[in-house]
Structure 1
Amino acid sequence: MNISIDVKEKDLLAEVSVQGEIDAYTAPKLRSTIFPLSEKDGVQMVVDLSGVNYMDSTGLGVFVGVFKNVKANNGQFKIVGLTERLQRLFEITGLADIIDINSQIEGGVQ
């Protein structure tokens, strides 16, 4: 169960690239890394999950919490690089209707 999280910040843009598995063991590390970014007023956060090969409900919970915090701080939140499996996970849970997700990596927040 490994996870690698790379964060690049420039002004209010926070680009996060995640690789590995997001589960009950790795989700706390993910949350502690990206949650502080979501507290910045007006942050534009883009999370690239193209390197994630597995995610469970714990991971979804992290993204819901971060999404809510970004919105509460007048920011924008986007998830890109979803595999078909992860895309389906977001769709089944209804999160695809709430969170801006895109299977293609476009870069930047729209």
Structure 2
Amino acid sequence: MNITVDVNELNTEFIVKLKGEIDAYTAPKLRESLFPISERENVKIIIDLSEVSYMDSTGLGVFVGAFKSVRANNGEFTLVGLSERLRRLFDITGLADIIDIKSGTEGGLE
């Protein structure tokens, strides 16, 4: 399966809507889309995972890297729309304690 990355920019806020599966095959495409944005100063990134059906540890690694880059540049990084399965993945790994995760698609998404 592939991944679709749709990036919408409004000033310093980026809404990134993902669709598909995030794994070793699709993670490079996600990384190419996220990392240039994550290196901007004071950026706010909201990532909508409501249409992500599967994610493995490679996907987690991409999000951790982007999160660290955003934080290093005084930005905000938020995940929204996680399925129960994805939420559990972030909880089990402890990432839910450091990454801002909102329920539903709140946080600027319609």
TM tier relative to shorter chain = over 0.9
Deviations 1:47-103 (A, max 9, x none): 000000000000000000000000000000000000000000000000000000123
Aligned residue number for residue 28 of structure 2: 28
Question: Which secondary structure does the structure 2 equivalent of 1:105 belong to?
Answer: coil
Aligned residues: 109
Runs of 4+ in 1 over 4 A off after TM superposition: none
Query: Residue type of the partner of 1:48?
Result: D
Q: 1:52 is matched with which residue?
A: 52
Q: Which residue of 2 aligns with 1:83?
A: 83
Q: Which residue of 1 aligns with 2:105?
A: 105
Contact kept, 8 Å, 1:87 with 1:103, in 2: the verdict is no
The whole-number CA distance in structure 1 between the counterparts of 2:4 and 2:60 is 17
Gaps of 5+ in 2: none
Q: Matched residue of 2:41: which SS?
A: coil
Point out where structure 1 has 5 or more consecutive residues left out of the alignment: none
TM-score of the two chains, using structure 2 as the length reference: 0.96
CA RMSD of aligned residues (A): 1.1
Instruction: Output the CA distance in 2 between the equivalents of 1:102 and 1:88.
Output: 13
Shift of 1:10: 1.1
AA at the equivalent of 2:4: S
